[in-house]
Structure 1
Amino acid sequence: MGRLMRRLMEVRGGRGLAAAVAGVGLCAASALPATAAGDADPYVFADGARSVAGARSSTDAQKLRTGETYRSSLGTGSRGTAYFSVELDSAANAYASVVAVPPLGSDVKATYSDGISVTLQDRNGNRCDAEHATFRSGAYPRPIAAAAERLVRPGGLRCQTAGTYYVVVERKADADSTRETWGLELKVATEPGLVSPAPTQGPEVWPSASVRPPTGSGAQRSGGTGFNDARALTSGVWKDRIGPGQSHFYRVPLRWGQQLFLDAELGSEAGDSARRGTVAGALDMELYNPARASVAAKEASYAGDPTSAAFDPLPPVAYENRHLMRDDEAAMRFAGWYYVKVTLNPAMAEKFGDRASGVTLRVTVDGDAEQAPDYVRDAGEFQVTEGDLADAERGEGGAVWSEDSKGSGSGAGGADEGSRSGSGSGSGREGSGGSGGASSGTAGDSAGAGSGSASSSTSPGSGAMTVLGIAGIGTGTALLLWLGVWRLVAVRRMRVRVR
């Protein structure tokens, strides 16, 4: 700063002064995060996420603490497997989730089978569970997530004791795929046991009929970049604009006994119907539960006319759903935030232009809230609090998307409105079984204060606000320096005239 001030003090003419001030502006601009200019990898990691290196072996695995979020990375080949450790008790169910964030852009190549596998195993090498997440038929990079579980149940034969467990993350990459490093976000969440014996069978019947989607003009709510800044939604019609290659995240609070119905419509633009061509899997929609485990996924092709994708009816949220045979139904096992990821295929830019497309989400949360299971302690993120409901009404979260769609696609944020209008998955699981837990204590549906995801959520446009704050500081500093130098030059000129 002293050197900069001396350089400014030497300025004599207006042109030199302007150049100096411009230099200050450039210095301030260079400090801005890359996401301000539409970075190709815009995923916002959790606030305060600690960096941790994945080990090449279980012996050197660094420890993760339950309930905390971590950031890491994953390469390919010999560096395509990472070990982490976590200490678990013998009473709580545990869910180890991993979000993989590959680099985006037209120069990044991927195949349908590229992805990650997440395995949770005990120190004897027994596999508790494993889940895979891939790009599926949409063979292009985008954030994907998988979660492996450890369920405590009466009569369980493995992974039931307290001790050290290992989270193993392995990357699957085709020989022709881009070999760049992927970012990782890791978290191990625990679900407390029940006071009384847990149910051992799933529901025999549940409402499986579809409901009529809400209608109306809808209100604007731009999605977030990932799980941490996902835009909160309630029942209603919501609009967004998504660019080719972009993934927008949303979240909906579901209480015990409530059922979620959701469809996404990709709108058409003037002239699109006159063009020839179809983009298979143009719109990709995936649902994740509060443990960030995949629930269901749907795709819709686009040929110039409006098209939509809707999830098949899912059961109301119930503890005993974990005993259902189908993965998508079993995943509706606890209350909390359910996350929706909507992605626009980058191939849309080739056939219909490199611009953002309008997407309409029609959300229905059906059914009255029921009493929560009798947990031995506060359920943490596996519940919906009054604060969560308020966040959904306000539409907390979301991101400011760049209009420049090159590289990662485009998004037109638009002004969000405070009001609302209207009233087959790409993952596979192995080694999963049963449920249960035991101990003593109670917790209600609204027990605890604040959002269950408060530790990993960001406020609306927090990244953009940070950018604006830094820019404001830089601009303000430059202005003050300019005024000071201007006054100094003026005083010196006056002195020369007097002499």
Structure 2
Amino acid sequence: MTAHARVTVVAVTLCAAVAMLPGAPAAAADTPSPGSAPYAFADDGQSVDGSASTTDAERLKPGTSYKSTVPSTGKVYYRLELDARSNAYVSATAVPGTDTTVTAGDGIRVSVQDANGNSCSFDSATIGASRSPHPVTAVGTREAKPTRVLCQAGGTYYLVVERIVGTSSSPDTWDLELSPVLEPRLRQTGATSAPEAWNSASAEPIQGEAERCRGGLGFASATPLKQGVWRDDIRPGQTLFYKVPLGWGRQLYAAAELGNSSGGSGFVPGALNLSLHNPVRSEIEYTGVTYDGSQKSATLEPLPPVAYPNRYAVAKRVSTTRFAGSYYLVVNLAAQVADRFGDGPVGLTLRLRVKGEAGSGPDYAEPSEPEGIFGGSGPDGQAASPGGAAADGNATMRLVAAGGIGAGTVLLVALGAWTALARRRADGR
């Protein structure tokens, strides 16, 4: 092997080592290939089969992500083993194929049942006015409430998932992501009623220069954002995920703006869809706007400050702001936009404002599962707790530091090998 060839080998080895370091740029993993599923499942998700019978239902463990499927007809069952003290939430995100035919009413129903067939909760999610295939999420819940009679004992429960299918819909199977979460009891019972008053006035939209960002393609890969103006691009048929950490007492104001098109004509009903989900992925609020090629804006209604007692409210948009932690913004652009205005990316701007006085959270008796999902109040009122948003940030910095040290070490070793090789060849000559 010539000296040049040996140096080339060293260089290639160095590049390969750097590419494997934490935080090294990856090949465009967030860009799906044509016809592929438009959703990025959790990397550590385990495969699980839904059963047509409760007798054969496989167990879901809180804190673990699962990948499954739901057929167009019939119900599928999964088993849960719960105690009598904790609250359980299981989100089900159904992902239709990009080429499937859907109607506005297509979607999924999710419920939790006890061993006697009593229903503990119902939830559903549908495609909506866009009639464009995109991920939809519904959540099954078992709450431990002294005021309730059913679904309070510890033991076996079942998550039930079924499709809602229109007469003109494709009878295909949809992929499914399941994410069970366990919220522990409090050491001491606090307020048992929702706050009576909160600031429901709209906040002035935040202004300033936009920072570039790239939305994730699933809940697990959602891009973390803070207060500010953010600039992204979205293609027709694409759904992008972002997350904003909110501490106790904080309020989120959010708007998504779609830029104008450079060509085309007509209009697409429900083209731009913006929804907000809480840390267990329950949908809090949803809004959609028609697109006619000119710039459009979708704005969420003001939400109450994040507070544990919000769970006692009747209104869903209040009761679902019961946790501190990561709140997910999900933006979808209908596939039909491509028919009218081309399939190229359209400019997307997110305006996020966080207000409210940061406060302390409840005193949980035990860790949640997964641990740290319900954060407390950290710097700037953002969510933070051991294993939570701030901890994730610290962990990221540690990885970056380790990556930097690792890269430096590999570089020094490679340069040393190259120098030694050059000296040996010089001595030989």
Q: Deviations over 1:379-435 (max 9, x none)?
A: 43443369x979x9xxxxxxxxxxxxxxxxxxxxxxxxxxxxxxxxxxxxxxxxxxx
Q: Deviations over 1:206-257 (max 9, x none)?
A: 0001111111220111101010101110000001110111000100001100
1:324 aligns with 2:313: yes
Residue in 1 that maps onto 2:375: 384
1:226 aligns with 2:215: no
Distance in 2 separating the partners of 1:447 and 1:330: 22
- Which structure 2 residues correspond to residues 401-440 of structure 1 after superposition, within 5 A? none
Shift of the 342–169 alpha-carbon distance from structure 1 to 2, 3 Å rule, reads same
Shift of the 453–153 alpha-carbon distance from structure 1 to 2, 3 Å rule, reads farther
Does the 8 A contact of 1:97 with 1:291 survive in 2?
Answer: yes
Residue in 1 that maps onto 2:82: 88
- Which structure 2 residues correspond to residues 278-317 of structure 1 after superposition, within 5 A? 278-317=267-306
1:185 aligns with 2:195: no
The root-mean-square deviation of aligned C-alpha atoms, in Å, is: 2.5
Does the 8 A contact of 1:191 with 1:382 survive in 2?
Answer: no
- Superposition deviation, residue 378 in structure 1: 2.9
The structure 1 residue matched to 2:132, chosen from 140, 144, 148, is: 140
Residue in 1 that maps onto 2:157: 165
- Structure 1-normalised TM-score? 0.69
The structure 2 residue matched to 1:365, chosen from 354, 360, 383, is: 354
Does the 8 A contact of 1:378 with 1:447 survive in 2?
Answer: no
SS in 1 for 2:318: helix
Shift of the 38–389 alpha-carbon distance from structure 1 to 2, 3 Å rule, reads farther
The structure 1 residue matched to 2:119, chosen from 119, 127, 136, is: 127
Residue in 1 that maps onto 2:11: none
Structure 2 counterpart of 1:103, one-letter code: G
SS in 2 for 1:237: strand
1:153 aligns with 2:145: yes
The structure 1 residue matched to 2:66, chosen from 66, 70, 77, is: 70
Does the 8 A contact of 1:255 with 1:383 survive in 2?
Answer: no
Distance in 1 separating the partners of 2:167 and 2:177: 25
1:110 aligns with 2:111: no
- Superposition deviation, residue 37 in structure 1: 3.4
Shift of the 452–113 alpha-carbon distance from structure 1 to 2, 3 Å rule, reads farther
Shift of the 231–208 alpha-carbon distance from structure 1 to 2, 3 Å rule, reads same
Structure 1 unaligned runs (5+)? 1-31, 393-444, 460-499
Q: Deviations over 1:333-354 (max 9, x none)?
A: 1101111110111111111112
Distance in 2 separating the partners of 1:283 and 1:458: 32
Does the 8 A contact of 1:285 with 1:342 survive in 2?
Answer: yes
- Superposition deviation, residue 322 in structure 1: 1.0
- Which structure 2 residues correspond to residues 255-274 of structure 1 after superposition, within 5 A? 255-271=247-263
- Which structure 2 residues correspond to residues 2-41 of structure 1 after superposition, within 5 A? 37-41=33-37
Residue in 1 that maps onto 2:386: 448
Does the 8 A contact of 1:207 with 1:315 survive in 2?
Answer: yes
Distance in 2 separating the partners of 1:128 and 1:204: 27
Structure 2 counterpart of 1:218, one-letter code: A
Shift of the 389–271 alpha-carbon distance from structure 1 to 2, 3 Å rule, reads farther
Distance in 2 separating the partners of 1:225 and 1:458: 20
- Superposition deviation, residue 446 in structure 1: 4.7
The structure 2 residue matched to 1:50, chosen from 26, 46, 51, is: 46
Does the 8 A contact of 2:372 with 2:385 survive in 1?
Answer: no
Distance in 2 separating the partners of 1:154 and 1:183: 36
Residue in 2 that maps onto 1:352: 341
Distance in 1 separating the partners of 2:375 and 2:187: 20
Distance in 2 separating the partners of 1:337 and 1:361: 17
1:374 aligns with 2:363: yes
Distance in 2 separating the partners of 1:237 and 1:224: 17
Structure 2 unaligned runs (5+)? 1-27, 398-429
- Superposition deviation, residue 34 in structure 1: 11
Does the 8 A contact of 2:142 with 2:151 survive in 1?
Answer: yes
Shift of the 155–185 alpha-carbon distance from structure 1 to 2, 3 Å rule, reads same
Distance in 1 separating the partners of 2:254 and 2:341: 26
Distance in 1 separating the partners of 2:98 and 2:387: 37
Structure 1 counterpart of 2:199, one-letter code: P
Does the 8 A contact of 1:228 with 1:458 survive in 2?
Answer: no
Does the 8 A contact of 2:384 with 2:390 survive in 1?
Answer: no
- Superposition deviation, residue 270 in structure 1: 3.2
Distance in 2 separating the partners of 1:450 and 1:257: 17
- In the alignment of these two chains, the number of paired residues is 365
Shift of the 57–198 alpha-carbon distance from structure 1 to 2, 3 Å rule, reads farther
Distance in 2 separating the partners of 1:447 and 1:355: 41
Does the 8 A contact of 1:252 with 1:337 survive in 2?
Answer: yes
Shift of the 136–381 alpha-carbon distance from structure 1 to 2, 3 Å rule, reads farther
Shift of the 33–320 alpha-carbon distance from structure 1 to 2, 3 Å rule, reads closer
Higher relative contact order (CA 8 A, sep 6+): 1
Distance in 1 separating the partners of 2:32 and 2:276: 28
Does the 8 A contact of 1:229 with 1:458 survive in 2?
Answer: no
